[in-house]
Structure formats: C-alpha cells, structure tokens
C-alpha cells in the first residue's frame, strides 16, 4: 500500500538484534557455574543489551544469572530493564547485593527503579544507598508520580552571572561532584534562579575573557518541577532540547532533565497509546501467562458487554431476520465497515491530541472535516455495497437498504471516532483509554440498528 515502507525495509539489516550466541553462552556459563567467564563475557556488552538478555531468558535462568553474577552486577542493567521485571529481580536479592549493585546508579535511575515498588521493598532498597543518595531519592519521591520532579537528576552544573568563560572552565576542572555527562552550564542569579544557559560547544569556542552572560542562548526554557512527564517529553521534542533546568514554584533551580530521559518518556507515551488503542494495558513479553490473562481480561470483558448490547439490538429484529435471512448474512458488513472507519478517525485523533496538533482552537474544524470524510466514504461504499447486495440476492430494495445503512454508519463512525477521544481528553482522561471499544460499540449498534431497522421498515 505504501511504496516507501517497502523501500525502507530493504535496508534493514537486523542490526542490534539480540545475539542468540550471547544467550547460549550465558546459559552455558550458568550451567557450568563459570563466574569468571560470565563476568568477562558480560563486560563486553552494554547494560541495555544485558537488560534485553534478561527479558529474553526464562524466569529460572534469570534468578540463576543473578545469583552467579552476584555483587559484580552492573546496576545500569536494572535501570534499562522493563520496570515490572527489575522490581521482581531486586526483590530476590539479598541486601548486600542490592547495595553494591545500586551504589553507582544516578539518583534519578534509582527513583525510576523504586517508584512502583511496595512501600517496604522501597525502604529496603533506599536504606541500601549511602546517606547523600538516600536524601536525594527521598526528596524526588516527594514529587507526584509522572512529574518532572521524578525525572530530573539533582547533580547539575551552574555558574553565577558574573563569571567569564575562563573562570567557568577552571571551576569545572576543579569540581569533584559533576554529573557523568552534561551538555550546558546553567547561569543562575544570587537567588538560584536560572537566567539562561550556555551550551558546552559555545563555551569551548569562546575566548576565556568573554563574560558567560554574553553567551547565553536566546532560546531558554525551564521546566516546572510539577509539569507532567508527557509535557516534558513534548517540549524536548518540539524545541529540540538536549537538557533543560528544572525549577520549583519560586523559580529556583532544583535539577536538570536530559534528552535521554525525555526520549524514554516519549517512547513510553507512544507505546502506551498503541497499547491502549489495541486494548492491552502496560503489558510486556516478560509477563507470565497468568499475569497476561489477568491483564487482558477486563478489556475482553468490556468487549463482551458491548457485543451483548449489539446482540440485544439484533434480537429486537428476530422476526425480520426470520423473514429475510439475507439480512443476517449482510449485517456484519455494515457493522465491520463502521468499526474500521471509526478506528481510522480515532487513530488520527489520538495521535493529533498526543502531538498537540488537535486543540480547542481547531477542534470544531476537525469534527466537521471528519463528518464530511465519513459522509463521502459512506456515499462511495454505499454505491459499491448497494450494487453487491442487489446482485447477490437479486433484490434491488435490499441493496438500497444496505446503501442507506452504510452512509449512516460511516457518518456516525467519523463522528464517534473524533468525539470520543475529544471528550475523554476534556475530562482529563487518556484519549486512547477504552476509546477503541467505545467507538466500535457505537458503530456496531448503529450499524445493526440502521440496517435491520431500515429493512424492517422498507422490506417487510
């Protein structure tokens, strides 16, 4: 359907795919309990790849791997892992292993690891940290979940407004407590309020005598500590930011968020939208079968209720169907086309809301547009399906009824597809949450009711 997609795929060389000899080697080191071999092998890999390895092997091998690797484990691996899985694995570890594993992590990664755990498991992990980190983690946990405060690192690089380039570089060389990576220097006033920032590439290019304040970017944005992570990710993406200072409600500098954190949130948000539209929660391949069944149950249960509703509509027309069995044969076509057209509109609307392309400023224009698109598609498919219905059963009025029901249902599909996510968003719910099921409920009910109702009125 899309030529570009196919072209693009030709160049996929399956780069970065989990290397199955790695999996085999690790499993064989576990079997032979070869700790030295294991450590040497894993040293060659990035923490994110080892996290993927954990996700791919079965639960027993995961525990065995943790036991054999022991205190030599790289804490980053847990920061890179699916959140549910990292929690489960850390729970299994003795205290001394936890503390040696987590001591090298940045505090924002520790926050990310512990925030979804039970209270007592959370305290056990925090107590395993050294005192400075404990305070930093506890402070971050005071901010509500899902806000910038949970995402930011507290280690940051700032300079007073009166410094010049030379003083700043000399101070950086002397500082002991710098973050592992940073991308700019935040210039702050005596009240710790950020005035601007100087990127490292600007700093490096400038002569030593130039005052910092002359080098600050014209583009300067701070992130409020209570801003939602979704909005933080949006800002990084929209304004191509690499790092941004985080400020409290008195505008004082409290931390910094870097692009890798924002990129992760952006990926998670898109992932969440896809999964909610597909009727699954926060599911991953590492979940056990039992957990998966339990997580999918409510969505299927909800679908059962809505499909029973649709059946009740059909049941009202039992005698009509008894008179003309062709109606039972054709009715799923109308419902299915409505479901598809509604899902199309819904998908575009959910994405446009996520990227803030659909706002109160253009909502009415988009609603009108979707209604017209629905109507036009309805007309096109009404003609096609009307002719098919006519030729199939040789009964012109049956074709006419099919055509009318199609127009009605595709119009309703367009309206439901745009109105459901807009209303969910208006009530501060995720526009992807349950909206697929709601839209197809509307199109099923309207589809069956319109088709069977028109048939009863016109054909009998």
Residues 211-270 binding its own copies (CB under 8 A) are 219, 226-231, 234-240, 242, 259-260, 262-264, 266-267, 270
Cα–Cα distance between 429 and 439 in angstroms, integer? 16
Cα–Cα distance between 436 and 66 in angstroms, integer? 41
Q: How many residues bind its own copies (CB under 8 A)?
A: 153
Choosing from 314, 382, 419, 450, the residue that interacts with its own copies (CB under 8 A) is 314
Choosing from 298, 423, 426, 457, the residue that interacts with its own copies (CB under 8 A) is 298
Give min distance, CB of 430 to its own copies, in A: 5
Binding flag, residue 351, its own copies (CB under 8 A): yes
Stretch touching its own copies by CB under 8 A, among 65-73, 85-93, 126-134, 376-384: 376-384
Give min distance, CB of 196 to its own copies, in A: 16
Stretch touching its own copies by CB under 8 A, among 44-52, 63-71, 86-94, 125-133: 44-52
Binding flag, residue 307, its own copies (CB under 8 A): yes
Binding flag, residue 284, its own copies (CB under 8 A): yes
Binding flag, residue 183, its own copies (CB under 8 A): yes
Choice between 327 and 416, CB closer to its own copies: 327
230 alpha-carbon distance from chain centroid: 9
Binding flag, residue 18, its own copies (CB under 8 A): yes
Give min distance, CB of 116 to its own copies, in A: 8
Cα–Cα distance between 334 and 450 in angstroms, integer? 9
Binding flag, residue 364, its own copies (CB under 8 A): no
A 10 A CB-CB count for 41 gives 15
Contact 173, 203 (CB under 8 A): no
| Secondary structure E strands in 38-164 | 158-160
Choice between 192 and 303, CB closer to its own copies: 303
Binding flag, residue 206, its own copies (CB under 8 A): yes
Find tokens 């925030």 and name the residue: 115
Pairing between β-strand 194-199 and β-strand 184-188 as defined by DSSP bridges: antiparallel
Binding flag, residue 445, its own copies (CB under 8 A): no
Cα–Cα distance between 36 and 39 in angstroms, integer? 5
Choice between 52 and 98, CB closer to its own copies: 52
Find tokens 């690797």 and name the residue: 69
Give min distance, CB of 89 to its own copies, in A: 17
Give min distance, CB of 76 to its own copies, in A: 10
Q: Is the dihedral of CA 360, 363, 365, 366 positive or negative?
A: positive
Binding flag, residue 28, its own copies (CB under 8 A): no
By C-alpha distance, which of 219, 224, 227 is closest to 265? 227
Q: Which of residues 320-349 bind its own copies (CB under 8 A)?
A: 321-322, 325-333, 335-337, 340-341, 343-344, 346-348
Find tokens 């994110």 and name the residue: 48
Helices (H), 213-325: 229-238, 259-277, 289-315, 318-323
Find tokens 């910092």 and name the residue: 212
Choosing from 253, 277, 438, 456, the residue that interacts with its own copies (CB under 8 A) is 277
Query: What is the four-CA torsion angle of 128, 134, 136, 140, rounded to 10 degrees?
Result: 80
Choosing from 67, 192, 282, 459, the residue that interacts with its own copies (CB under 8 A) is 282
Cα–Cα distance between 297 and 285 in angstroms, integer? 17
| Secondary structure E strands in 167-252 | 184-188, 194-199, 223-224, 243-247
Binding mask 53-92 for its own copies (x = CB under 8 A): --xx-x----------------------------------
Stretch touching its own copies by CB under 8 A, among 1-9, 25-33, 129-137, 186-194: 1-9
Binding flag, residue 40, its own copies (CB under 8 A): no
Q: Which of residues 142-161 bind its own copies (CB under 8 A)?
A: 144-147
Give min distance, CB of 101 to its own copies, in A: 19
Cα–Cα distance between 444 and 340 in angstroms, integer? 11
> What's phi and psi for 159, nearest 5 deg?
-145, 145
């Amino acid at each position: 359907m899309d030529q570009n997609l196919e072209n693009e795929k030709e160049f996929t060389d399956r780069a970065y795919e989990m290397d199955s000899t790695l999996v085999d080697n690790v499993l064989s080191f576990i079997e032979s309990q070869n700790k030295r071999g294991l450590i040497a092998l894993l040293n060659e890999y990035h923490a994110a790849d080892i996290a993927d390895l954990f996700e791919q092997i079965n639960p027993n091998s995961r525990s065995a791997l943790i036991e054999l690797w022991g205190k030599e484990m790289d804490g980053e691996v847990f920061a890179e892992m699916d959140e549910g899985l990292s929690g489960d694995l850390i729970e299994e570890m003795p205290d001394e292993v936890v503390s040696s594993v987590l001591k090298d992590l940045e505090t924002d990664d520790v926050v990310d690891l512990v925030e979804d755990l039970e209270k007592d498991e959370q305290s056990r992990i925090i107590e395993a940290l050294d005192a400075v980190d404990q305070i930093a983690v506890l402070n971050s946990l005071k901010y509500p979940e899902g806000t910038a405060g949970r995402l930011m690192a507290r280690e940051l690089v700032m300079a007073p407004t009166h410094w010049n380039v030379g003083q700043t570089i000399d101070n950086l060389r002397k500082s002991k407590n710098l973050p592992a990576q940073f991308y700019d220097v935040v210039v702050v006033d005596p009240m710790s309020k950020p005035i601007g920032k100087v990127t490292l590439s600007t700093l490096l290019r400038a002569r030593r005598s130039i005052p910092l304040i002359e080098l600050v970017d014209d583009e300067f944005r701070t992130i409020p500590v209570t801003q939602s992570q979704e909005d933080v990710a949006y800002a990084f993406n929209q304004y191509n930011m690499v790092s941004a200072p985080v400020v409290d409600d008195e505008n004082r500098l409290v931390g910094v968020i870097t692009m890798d954190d924002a990129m992760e949130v952006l990926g998670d948000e898109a992932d969440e939208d896809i999964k909610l539209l597909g009727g699954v929660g926060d599911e991953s391949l590492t979940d056990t079968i039992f957990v998966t069944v339990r997580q999918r149950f409510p969505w299927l249960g909800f679908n059962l209720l809505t499909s029973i509703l649709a059946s009740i509509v059909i049941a009202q027309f039992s005698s009509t169907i008894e008179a003309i069995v062709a109606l039972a044969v054709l009715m799923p076509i109308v419902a299915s086309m409505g479901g598809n057209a509604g899902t199309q509109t819904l998908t575009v609307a959910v994405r446009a809301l996520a990227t803030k392309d659909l706002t109160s400023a253009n909502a009415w224009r988009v609603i009108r547009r979707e209604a017209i698109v629905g109507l036009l598609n309805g007309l096109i498919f009404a003609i096609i399906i009307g002719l098919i219905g006519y030729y199939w059963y040789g009964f012109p009025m049956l074709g006419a009824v099919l055509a009318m029901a199609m127009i009605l249902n595709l119009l309703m599909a367009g309206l439901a597809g745009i109105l459901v996510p807009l209303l969910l968003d208006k009530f501060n719910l995720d526009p992807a949450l349950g909206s697929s099921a709601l839209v197809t409920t509307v199109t099923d009910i309207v589809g069956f009711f319109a088709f069977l109702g028109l048939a009863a009125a016109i054909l009998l």
